[in-house]
A and B are shown apart, each in its own frame.
Chain A
Amino acid sequence: MIDALFSQPDYVAAKKMLDATVLRQEAIASNLANLETPNYQRIDVAPSFSNELREAVANGDTEKINDLQPRLEVDANAVAANRDGNTVQLETELMNLQQNFLQHGVETNFITQDLLRLRSAIQGQPQ
């Protein structure tokens, strides 16, 4: 019964996106760590994840959202900037880092607001 409170598509989707954001942070950490490793290929969260998530949210399919697992894969579009075959670019990666951080803030805020709204509904009084 109480499960119903926490299985709205928006809330489940926000949790999944939080998972993906943390995974992307790990990918960025890996990319920046290997900034100067020859032949390193940059990795990122698979683009198929966001497409599938968007589709599932549009259909309001909570089950499907729950089953989605973000995974990392080699970024096939990245090209090596110089001859050592490394596809990481410092500036882009630092931008991604900041963007990812802000995204994480948005998601945690969203979840917090959702929980606070539930609480005020339960208590029946304005906060």
Chain B
Amino acid sequence: MIDFIPGVSTTASALTAERIRMDVISQNIANANTTRTPSGQPYQRQQVTFETVLGQQDQADSASGSQPRLIKVARIQSDSRPPRMIYSPGHPDANAQGMVAMPDINTYEEMADLITSSRTYEANLAVIHTGRSMTMQTLAIGRRS
């Protein structure tokens, strides 16, 4: 199948990747105070890693110069930073010293990431809009304006 809109598969992969990133960020913010996960440990901040991949039909002719690259989420990994210890003896998850291990999630950091992610999403939407207008212009070739 021909891509009618130039670059649409690349942009679609970027929108999916940014969507996943936003999901992970909202999960981090939602769990900023979660002291117990199914494993019994406090919640660990999750982070996405992006990587580029060659599109399927591109792999065949990749010898003829550089090809547009798709993007995908390589993995979602836990941040290794240690939990914050907070003194709260009444807390059900407090240890013998009355300290509770809280996830070390900085809401400001997450919000900044969220804004970056949403700006990238918008930039990719702009590409789709422009690509669509270009296709309409191409279809109008030979018509009297």
Contacts and interface: CB of A to CB of B under 8 A. Distances in A.
Interface string A55-98: 00000000000000001111000000000000000100110011
Contacts of B65: 46, 71-73
Contacts, number: 114
B131 A29 contact: yes
Nearest to B134: A104
Contacts of B144: 116, 127
B14 interface: yes
A26 B123 contact: no
A10 to B, nearest CB: 15
Nearest to B131: A25
Interface of A is mostly: helix
B143 A112 contact: yes
A116 B122 CA distance: 38
B7 A112 contact: no
A86 B66 CA distance: 16
B127 interface: yes
B56 interface: no
Interface size class of B (residues with CB under 8 A): 35 or more
Interface in A14-72: 18, 21-23, 25-30, 32-38, 40, 43, 46, 71-72
Contacts of A30: 7, 10, 68-70
B7 A94 contact: no
A74 B68 CA distance: 10
Interface residues of A, number: 39
A36 B130 contact: no
Contacts of B120: 32, 35-36
Given A26-B6, A33-B124, A71-B64, A112 B134 contact: no
Given A43-B68, A72-B68, A127-B144, A33 B137 contact: no
Interface of A: 18, 21-23, 25-30, 32-38, 40, 43, 46, 71-74, 90, 93-94, 97-98, 100-101, 104-105, 108, 111-112, 115-116, 127
Interface of B: 6-8, 10-11, 13-14, 17, 50-52, 64-71, 116, 119-120, 123-124, 126-127, 130-131, 133-134, 137-138, 140-145
